[in-house]
Amino acid sequence: MSKTITAQDLHIHFGHGDETPLFKWLIASFLMGKRIQADIAAQAYRVIVEKRQRDTPRKLANCSHRELVAMLGEAHYVRYDETTAKRLLALAHKLNDEYAGKVGNIVAASADRQAFEQRLAEFDGIGPKTVEIFMREAGALLFP
- For 16, counting Cβ atoms within 10 Å of its Cβ (0-12 exposed, 13-18 middle, 19+ buried), the class is exposed
Give the global pTM: 0.95
What the chain holds in terms of domains, given with CATH numbers, is 14-142 (1.10.340.30)
pLDDT at 108: 96
| pLDDT over 90 percentage in the chain | 89
How much is the pLDDT for 17?
A: 76
